[in-house]
Structure 1
Amino acid sequence: MTGVGHPVIRTPDQRIRVFVSSTLRELAEEREAVRSAIERLRLAPVMFELGARPHPPRDLYRSYLAQSDVFIGIYGQSYGWVAPDENVSGLEDEYNLAPAGMPKLIYVKDADTRDPRLTELIARIQADDTAAYLHFTGSADLEDQVAGDLAMLLAERFDQSRRTELATAAEISLAARVPEPYTETIGREGELAEIRALLAGGLHRVVSLIGPGGIGKSRLAIEAAHANTDLFPDGVYFVPLEGVLEAGLLLPTIAYILGVRDTGAAALEERIAQAIGDRHALIVLDNFEQIIDEAPVLVRLYTLAPRACFLVTSRTLLRIRGERVFEVATLDTPAAGVPVTLGHAQASAACRLFTERAAAALPGFELSSDNAADVAEICRQLDGLPLAIELAAAKIRLLSPHDVAERLGRTLPLLSTSVRDLPERHRTMRATIDWSVGLLTAEQRAMLEDLGVFAARFTLEAVEAVGAGRSWGEQAIETLAALIDASLVQRMDAGGRTVFSLLAIVREYALERLEAHGGAADMRMAHADYYLGLVRRIAPRLRGSEQVEAVAELGLEVPNLRAAARHLVQEDRLDDAGDFAWTLLAYWWISGYFADVSLWMGELLDKGLPVSPRTRAVATFFPLWAGMWQRPSDQVVDGLGDAVRWFSESGDELAAAMALAARASTRMQFPDMDPTVVRSELGTAIATLHRLGDRWAESLAEVPLGQLGILVGDIPEALRHFDRAVEIADAADDAFNRVVAGNNRARLRFLLGEHDAAEAEFLLTLTLSIRLHFVDGATYGLEGMCAIAAVHGEAWRAGALSAVAATIRETTGIYDIAGFAVHLEPLEALRAADPENVAAGEQAGRGMGLADAIAIALPDADADLPERVPTW
C-alpha cells in the first residue's frame, strides 16, 4: 500500500506492462490468446484474473491501470455487469480510467448482436483519436494481430525517442539531436543570418564559433542548428564535449550521438565515416577547446564524408585546413558618454537580456525610464557578456539595478586586476563569477566548489551522497536551491527525472577554487565512491529481465561514469578502477563503450604502479577486445592468455573463463584455425561458467561454438549450441543474449529451409532489439524478414525491407554484412523474376523509418500490401 488512496500493485519483473480489459467469461479464450501474444514479446500482461484480490474490484483495476503502460480492450457482445451504485460497467470504467496519454489498442470481435450500451461505448472509442480500433474473428488471428500491433507500437515509440528526447553526451541517449533552448535567445538575429550564409554556401567544411567563456557560443550554435535543419536533409546532430577531457574520447562521443556502437568489430573512425558517408549532415561539436589537439581528426572525417559540415564552438582556433572562423560578438550595449534614455536601453540587446532574466528572478520587473541608465551601466561594465549579464540579473531579487551597478563599479575593477594573465573579456567573465560567488554564504560557496567534481549533469541523490561530512551536507537541498537562484546551477529534466548542471565555465571556476583550497582529492574520491557503489547496485540488473531498464539508467550517467573512472585512476586507486571497469562489462558491450574503457585501462597500465593480478588482467583484456575482431593475431591470443592466467592467479575463475572464451573467438578469425583447440577452449570456458552459475556469459560463449559448427560444416552441432544459447537466454529473460543467440539461430534455420521457424525468431529478435535500443540487432532482424519475404515471392515487401536495413547500416556504421546478410541471395533471385516490384519496394524503403519497416515486417502485414508502391 502506498497510503495515497489506492494500493499500488506492481508486476514482479517491472517490464513494460499491458493492461487487458474485457468481460471475463465471455472472452476467456480471447484473453488467453492476448496473454500469449504479450508474453511472446517479453512484455508483462496485467490481467484481473492473474492476481489475488484483497481489495474491492474497482480499487484493484484502478491500481493495475496506474501501474500499466499500454491498454488493450477486447469487446464482444456483452457490456458487462453494472455494480450497485455505479452508472457504468467495469468494462467501460476501465476504458474511462485509462490515462489520456496511454496507448490504447482496441479489438472488437465480429458479432451479429451486441448490447446497446457496448455499441455506444465502441462508437465513442471509434471517435477517440488516441485509440487504434480493429476487428477480429477468432482467438487465433487475434493473437497474431496483438503481437504485431504491440511490436509496431514499440517501434513507433523507439522512433519517437530517437527524435524527441534530449540527446546529449551527458545523457547518452539517441534522442533529439539538438537540445531545446530553455530561454529565449536575444540579440543574435544578424549572427544567425551570417552563420546560415556560411553553412548554405557549401564552401566551408568547418565553421568555428570562437569567443571567451560566457559569450554565448553554445547557445548560438544550438539556435543555428535549429534554424538550419532545412539545409541538411540528412540530419543535424549535437555533440556536447564539456565532459570529454581525454582526446581519445572524441570519436566515441561523436559515434554514440550518430548511433554508431563501438563493439570493437571495426575501427571507430571507419564506422563513423561509413555512417556519415555521402550524407548532407551537420554535426555540432560544442566546447571543443578541451581537446583542441584532436582538431586534425575533423579533417580526416570530412575528407571521408565529403558532404558533412561541422559547426564547432571553442574558446581557441582549431587551426586546421577547411576552417572558417566566426568571431562571436558580445551583445550591443548603449554607447558610453551619452545619457541613456528608455529607448536607448530598449534598443540594446544586452539591456533586453538583463530585463528578461531579471523578470524571471523578480516577477514584475520592467525596464523603465527610472532604471534604464543603471541597467545600461551594468551591461557596459559586463562588456555585454551574456552569462555575466544573467548572473547580475539574478541579484535583482535582492538588490535594485542601481545597487547592482554601484557594487559592480566598486568590485569588478579590483577582481579583474587579479587575473591580468587572461584576455580582457575572460577577465570580465571571471571577475563577474567571483563577484556573484562573493555574495554567497560560506556553505553555498563550499557546495559550488564541491560540485565541480561532477560531470555535465548530476542528481540530488548524488549531491547528498558526496555531501556527507561537508559543511553544507545537512542542508543540501536548501543550499542547492540558493545556487539555482543565483543562476550558478541549472535545474532541468532528463529521462523523466530532475537533474542539475553547471555551465562549463562555472564548473571550471568551481574546480579551480576546490583545487586551490586543497579539497579536490577528497571530493573526487567521494564522487568515485558514490558511482562505484551505483554501478555495483545496478550491474546485476544488466543480466536478466531488468536489463532494458538498467541500460537506460546507466545511459543517463555516462559522463559521471567517465568522471568516476578518471578520478579513480588519477588518485591511484587502480584496483578500484579495474573493478569498476569489469563490473560494467555487460553495459560496455551492450551499449558500445569499449573505446572509453580501453582508454582508461591504458592510462592505468601507463602509471607503472603495482596492481593486483586481477586488475592487470582487466586492464589487459579491454584494449585487446578490438584486436580480437579487427586485428586478430598471435599477439592478441597471447595477451588474452596472460589475462586468463592473471585472472586465475587472483582466484576469479569466472573472469578467467570469459577471457578464455575471448581467446578462442580470436583463434576463430585465423585462416588456418585449429577447430580442435577452439572447441576445447570454448568447452572449458562454458563448463566453468555453467559450474559457477553465470548464465549470461555461458549463453554468449555458446554462440561462437555454434558459429564454429557452421565453419567446419557440422550443422547439427551448430544448431545444438545455438539452441542452448537461446534456452539459457530465455530462462534468464535476457533480451540482449536472446537477440544475439536468436539472430544466429534464425539465420541458420533460414539456410536450412526452416522458413516458418526463422520468421518467428527474426520477429522476436526484432522486437527485443527495439526495446533494448539495439540497432545492430534490429537491422539483422529486418534483413531476416527481408529474406523471408523474398522466398515467399513478396517482391515489394522484400525490396522495402532491404532498403530500410541498408539505410540503417549506412547511417549507423554497422559492419559484418557478410556474416549475417542472408537476404542478399534470395533478394537477387527474386529481382531476376520480378525486377519492377523489387525496385519499387526499394524506392519506397529508402524513405521509411524503423516504425514503417516494422509495420511491413510483421507476419500478417502482406495481406494489406499492394503489389506496387503504396501511396501513403
Structure 2
Amino acid sequence: MIRTPDQRLRVFVSSTLRELADERSAVRRAIERMHLAPVMFELGARPHPPRALYRSYLDQSDVFVGIYWESYGWVAPDEEISGLEDEYDLAPASMPKLIYIKRSRNREERLTALIGRIQSDDTAAYLPFDDAEELESRVADDLASLLAERFDESRAGEVPSVGPDAAAALIARVPAPYTTTIGREDDLARVRQLLAEGTDRVVSLIGPGGIGKSRLAIEVAHASEDLFPDGTYFVLLEGVLEPGLLLPTIAYTLGIRDNGEAGLEDRISVALAGRRVLIVLDNFEQIVDAAPVLVRLFTVAPLASFLVTSRVVLRIRGERVYEVETLPAPDDRGPASVDLVRRSAAVRLFVDRAQAAKPEFALTAENATVIADICRRLDGLPLAIELAAAKMRLLTPAGIAERLERILPMLTASARDLPDRHRTMRATIEWSVGLLEPQRREQLEDLGVFATRFTLDAVDAVGRGRSWEGQGLDGLSDLIDASLVRQVEVAGRPTFSLLAIMREYAVERLKERGEADVMRGAHADYYVELVQRVAPALRGLGQVDAVSQLGLELSNLRAAARHLVYTDRLDDAGDFAWSLLAYWWISGFFSEVRLWMLELLEKQQPISQHTRAAAWFLTLWGEMWQRPSEQVVAGLGECARLFTESGDAHAAAMALAARGSTRMQFPDLDAAKAEAELSEAAAVLKDLGDDWTECMTVVGLGLLSVVKGAIPDALERFAEAAAIAEAGQNMFTRIVAGNNRARVLILLGDVDGAEEEFLLTLGLSTRLHYIEGIAYSLEGICGVASARQDPWRAGALLTVAATIRQTTGIFDVSGFDVHLPLLAALREADPDGVAAGELDGAQMSVPDAIALTLPTVDEAARTALATW
C-alpha cells in the first residue's frame, strides 16, 4: 500500500527515471501545489518486482500523468514492451490521462510509435513542452481543470462517490471547490494568517447568506493544511437545528462513536489531546446558543482551532470575527471599458459562470456596461451573481439586466424590513424560481423539506398527491439545468441537494402556502417506511449495506424524528427510535437519540407503555455505563415491566440484561444477582430467536466471568456468543464476541488460536468500517507478535492502534489489555526492535496496518480498504 495517510487524490507519474529526473521533480511540485498526492517510485519503493509494484501503484491511483522525451525505456528479460508502455497499457480506461511530450528530434522509434497510439486515444489529453519550468506550470493548470471537471466533490457536506463502507469516514473531508474561486485572494491570505498566529481559538467568518462564507472556509481549509499537521475536519451543521446536537455532530465527523460508555465531551477531549487540528463548523447560526460548547472544547483541546461560518457573531471568548464582504463591482462614475470592467472581481465571477452556461460567451465592449450594471445591482453578492449568470443559457446580458431592473425595486418596496443584501439575494432567487413552470416551482419549494441531500425514491414518495406527482425525475433534471438543484453520486447512487439558502427560501415558501406541515408529514412518513424496511437487515447478513444506507440518510432521519416529536406523533417517534437501536449501537449515536427521547417524555402527552419504556431505556443507556447506580437499576426494571405489559418480550429481556450489566460496574459487585439477571435474559432471548441481543447478553456473562477471575468459563461464554453470531450471520456481534474470545485465548497461552480469531475480526471490522473493532484486533495481533518475539510488527501495530484510540476517543483501555504485558516483556528484551516498529507505525495509515496484518484480504474487505 502507498502511504498517503491524508487519503488525498493520488496522481501516478510515468516516465523514464534518469532521463527525466528534473521533469519528475517539477511534476511532483505541481501535484503537491494542488494538495494532491504524487505516486512515484522514488517516494515509496518497496522490495517487490517492478511490474508488480507499478501495477499496485496504478490500482490505487486516480489520475495518470505521462512524461515522454527520447528514450522508450528498458525492456526487461522475457518482456516484449518497456515498463513505460506497460504502465500506459495498465492504466484503466476510466482513469484520466494527462500526457506531456518534450520536444525532440532524436526520439527512439518505439517511443514514437507509442506516442502515436496515445495521440489517437480519445481518453488521453496531451501537450508538448520544452523545459521543466514550463511543464510544472502546465501540470498544475491541467490538474486544476481536471478536478473541476471530473472530481466534483464540492457539494458542501456531501461525500464523493465511494463504496458504502467508507461513506461515513469521508464526511470529514474538506470538499473540493467545484468551480474557480474568484476575488477572495486577500480574504484567504488574511484568514490563513489569523489561523497561523494562533492567538484566537475561534475565527468566525460572518456575513449574510449567499456572500460566500462556506466557499471561503473551504479555500482557507485547503490552504492551511500545512498549519494543521494532525488533520482538518469539515463539520456541516446545515441540517442540525438543536444546540444539543453540536457535540454529537462534531464527534461523528471526528470518527467518534457514542456507544454510551463515556461522555462525548470526554471522548472528544481524548481524541484531540496533543493534536494540532482545524475543525471547520459550517452554518453555525441556527445553533448559535451552543456557542459556549466551543469554549469548553478549546479549553480541553488547547491545540485545536475552529473556523466557523455564521450569519451572526457567536459572542464567546476566544472569538475573532472576520466580516466577509461582497465582491467589488465596477463603479458607475466613468465609462465602462472592457479593461476597467474586467478588473472587478464581481464581473470576473459573472463572466466565469456565464461561460460555464454558454461557452461562447465573452466580455466585449458591447456588453461590458450592461454586465457591470448587473453586478452593481446584485450588490456584488457571489451567489446572486452566479444565479444571474446561469441565465445566460436563455437570455442575453441585456435581458438579464432588464428583468433585474423590474424585480429589485418591487422587492425593495414589499420587504423593507429586510437588510439590503438579503433583499437582493431573495430577489435573485425569486427571479430564478419565477422563470420555472408552475409545477417545477412547486416541486422546488416542496424539496425544501429535505435535509442536506435526498434520493429520487424520497422525492417520488413526497410527491404523491402534489401537482408534480410522477414527474420527479424530469423535474429534478430541469431544476439541475436551472442551477437550483445539485446532483452528486454517493455510494454508487445519485443523490440531490439544495444550497442552504435555497432550502431556507423553499421552507419559507412552504410556510407561506400553509403546506409546511403537510410536506414534513409526508417526509416523516417516507423515512418511517424506509426504517421499517431497512432496520431488520441491521441484525443479519445485510448489515453492511443497511448501516451504509442509514448513514447516508442520517440528516433526514434526524429531521424525521424531530418532526414526529414536534407534531406529537410520539408513539411513531418511539417506534422509529427503537427500531433503529442496532444502528445507534453500531454507529454510535446515542446522544442524539437521548435528546429526542427526553423531549418526547417532557411532552406530558398520552403515549403507549411501549413508547414510554423505549424512551426511558434510551435515556438510561448512557447512565448505565457512565454513572451506574441503584436508580438506573430501578429505572431499567421499570422499563422491563412496561415492555412486558406491552407484549414486547424481546425488549423486556434486553432491559433485564441491561440491569445485570449495570450491576457489574458497581464497586461492591453482587455477582450472583448480576449473573441471574443476565442468564435469565439470555434464556428468554434464545427461546425468542433474538440472536443479536442473546449474543450481546452472553458476551456480558463472559465479561462477568473475567471480572470474577473465572477465565475458562469466560472462554466458554465468548465461544458460545461467537457461535450465536455466526448462526445469525451477524457481523457486529461476531466482532464483539470474537475480540473478547481472542483476548482470553492469549491469557490462556493459545497464541495460534488468538491470531486466527483476531484476523477474522479484523477482516469483519474492515468491511463494517467499525474502527473500534479494528483497534482491538490490531492490539490483539500486537500481543500475538509479542508472544512470537516479532518486535517490529508488535511496535508498529501498537502505534497504529494507539493512534486510532486517540483520534476516536476510545475510553475503555483498562481491564482487558492482554497485549500490554507481552509487549512490555518484549520491549525489555529488544527495545531497539520495538522502537523501530513504533517509528514506522507512526507513518502508517490504518489501511497500511490492515494490509500488513491480513495475509489474504477477501474481496469485500479489499473494496472497503480501497475507499479509506
* Aligned 1:207-222 pairs, distance under 5 A: 207-222=203-218
Which of 522, 525, 530 is matched with 1:526 structurally? 522
The aligned residue for residue 656 of structure 1 is 652
Kept in 1, the 8 Å contact 2:157–2:175? The answer is: no
The aligned residue for residue 31 of structure 1 is none
> Match of 1:208, SS?
strand
Tell me the amino acid that sits aligned with residue 850 of structure 1.
Answer: V
Which of 161, 169, 173 is matched with 2:168 structurally? 173
Q: Distance in 2 between matches of 1:130 and 1:623?
A: 58
Q: Distance in 1 between matches of 2:806 and 2:152?
A: 22
Tell me the amino acid that sits aligned with residue 426 of structure 1.
Answer: H
Q: CA deviation at 1:437?
A: 2.1
The aligned residue for residue 591 of structure 1 is 587
Kept in 2, the 8 Å contact 1:345–1:351? The answer is: yes
Is 1:233 paired with 2:222?
no
> Match of 1:195, SS?
helix
The aligned residue for residue 435 of structure 1 is 431
> Match of 2:279, SS?
strand
* Aligned 1:404-443 pairs, distance under 5 A: 404-443=400-439
Q: Distance in 1 between matches of 2:155 and 2:779?
A: 28
The aligned residue for residue 42 of structure 1 is none
Which of 384, 399, 402 is matched with 1:403 structurally? 399
The aligned residue for residue 362 of structure 1 is 358
1:651-670 superposed Cα distances (whole Å, 9 cap, x missing partner): 01111111111111111111
Residues 777/167 of structure 1: CA separation in 2 closer, same or farther (3 Å cut): farther
1:25-45 superposed Cα distances (whole Å, 9 cap, x missing partner): xxxxxxxxxxxxxxxxxxxxx
Q: Distance in 1 between matches of 2:694 and 2:83?
A: 52
> Match of 1:820, SS?
coil
> Match of 1:369, SS?
coil
Q: TM-score, normalised by structure 2?
A: 0.80
RMSD: 2.5
The aligned residue for residue 729 of structure 2 is 733
Q: Distance in 1 between matches of 2:656 and 2:776?
A: 27
Tell me the amino acid that sits aligned with residue 493 of structure 1.
Answer: E
Kept in 2, the 8 Å contact 1:614–1:650? The answer is: yes
Aligned length: 719
The aligned residue for residue 28 of structure 1 is none
> Larger deviation: 833-842 or 589-598?
833-842
1:796-835 superposed Cα distances (whole Å, 9 cap, x missing partner): 2212211111111111111111133211111112222222
Q: CA deviation at 1:543?
A: 1.5
Tell me the amino acid that sits aligned with residue 413 of structure 1.
Answer: P
Kept in 1, the 8 Å contact 2:337–2:369? The answer is: yes
Tell me the amino acid that sits aligned with residue 338 of structure 1.
Answer: G
Q: CA deviation at 1:546?
A: 1.6
Q: CA deviation at 1:356?
A: 1.8
1:312-361 superposed Cα distances (whole Å, 9 cap, x missing partner): 00001011111111111111110123221111221111111112222222
Residues 127/700 of structure 1: CA separation in 2 closer, same or farther (3 Å cut): farther
Residues 167/282 of structure 1: CA separation in 2 closer, same or farther (3 Å cut): farther
Is 1:535 paired with 2:531?
yes
Kept in 2, the 8 Å contact 1:263–1:592? The answer is: yes
Q: Distance in 2 between matches of 1:682 and 1:126?
A: 65
Kept in 1, the 8 Å contact 2:155–2:488? The answer is: no
The aligned residue for residue 547 of structure 1 is 543
The aligned residue for residue 10 of structure 2 is none
Q: CA deviation at 1:858?
A: 4.5
Which of 456, 460, 466 is matched with 2:462 structurally? 466
Which of 737, 741, 760 is matched with 1:764 structurally? 760
1:257-310 superposed Cα distances (whole Å, 9 cap, x missing partner): 111111111110111111011111111000000100111111111111111111
Kept in 2, the 8 Å contact 1:800–1:842? The answer is: yes
Which of 676, 697, 703 is matched with 1:701 structurally? 697
Kept in 1, the 8 Å contact 2:347–2:375? The answer is: yes
> Larger deviation: 184-193 or 354-363?
354-363
The aligned residue for residue 708 of structure 2 is 712
Kept in 2, the 8 Å contact 1:780–1:820? The answer is: no
Q: Distance in 1 between matches of 2:841 and 2:471?
A: 57
Which of 192, 196, 206 is matched with 1:196 structurally? 192
Q: CA deviation at 1:124?
A: 10
Identity %: 62
The aligned residue for residue 624 of structure 2 is 628
Q: Distance in 2 between matches of 1:597 and 1:476?
A: 32
Q: Distance in 2 between matches of 1:769 and 1:483?
A: 40
Tell me the amino acid that sits aligned with residue 278 of structure 2.
Answer: L
> Match of 2:244, SS?
helix
* Aligned 1:261-340 pairs, distance under 5 A: 261-340=257-336
Is 1:692 paired with 2:688?
yes
Q: CA deviation at 1:436?
A: 2.1
Q: CA deviation at 1:687?
A: 1.5
> Match of 1:523, SS?
helix
Is 1:845 paired with 2:835?
no
Is 1:183 paired with 2:179?
yes
Kept in 2, the 8 Å contact 1:167–1:177? The answer is: no
Kept in 2, the 8 Å contact 1:167–1:178? The answer is: no
Tell me the amino acid that sits aligned with residue 174 of structure 1.
Answer: A
Residues 165/729 of structure 1: CA separation in 2 closer, same or farther (3 Å cut): farther
Kept in 1, the 8 Å contact 2:601–2:615? The answer is: yes
Q: Distance in 2 between matches of 1:314 and 1:496?
A: 32
Tell me the amino acid that sits aligned with residue 629 of structure 2.
Answer: S
> Match of 2:605, SS?
coil
Is 1:491 paired with 2:487?
yes
> Larger deviation: 801-810 or 611-620?
801-810
Kept in 2, the 8 Å contact 1:169–1:559? The answer is: no
Q: Distance in 1 between matches of 2:80 and 2:362?
A: 53
Q: Distance in 2 between matches of 1:564 and 1:681?
A: 36
Residues 131/699 of structure 1: CA separation in 2 closer, same or farther (3 Å cut): farther
Q: Distance in 2 between matches of 1:732 and 1:214?
A: 51
Residues 167/342 of structure 1: CA separation in 2 closer, same or farther (3 Å cut): closer
Residues 207/721 of structure 1: CA separation in 2 closer, same or farther (3 Å cut): same
Kept in 2, the 8 Å contact 1:166–1:177? The answer is: no
Q: Distance in 2 between matches of 1:772 and 1:856?
A: 19
> Match of 1:474, SS?
coil
Residues 601/647 of structure 1: CA separation in 2 closer, same or farther (3 Å cut): same
Q: Distance in 2 between matches of 1:763 and 1:491?
A: 39
The aligned residue for residue 456 of structure 1 is 452
Kept in 2, the 8 Å contact 1:167–1:173? The answer is: no
The aligned residue for residue 150 of structure 1 is none
Which of 810, 828, 837 is matched with 1:832 structurally? 828
Which of 812, 816, 819 is matched with 1:820 structurally? 816
- In structure 1, runs of 5+ residues without a counterpart are 1-99, 104-118, 133-162, 862-872
- In structure 2, runs of 5+ residues without a counterpart are 1-57, 62-77, 92-150, 160-166, 858-868
Q: Distance in 2 between matches of 1:740 and 1:762?
A: 11
Q: CA deviation at 1:637?
A: 1.0
Q: CA deviation at 1:167?
A: 10
Is 1:808 paired with 2:804?
yes
Q: Distance in 1 between matches of 2:82 and 2:343?
A: 58
> Larger deviation: 333-342 or 450-459?
333-342
Q: CA deviation at 1:713?
A: 2.5
Residues 785/126 of structure 1: CA separation in 2 closer, same or farther (3 Å cut): farther
Kept in 1, the 8 Å contact 2:531–2:580? The answer is: yes
> Match of 1:237, SS?
strand
The aligned residue for residue 603 of structure 1 is 599
1:670-694 superposed Cα distances (whole Å, 9 cap, x missing partner): 1122222211211221122111111
> Match of 1:173, SS?
helix
> Match of 2:415, SS?
coil
Tell me the amino acid that sits aligned with residue 457 of structure 1.
Answer: R
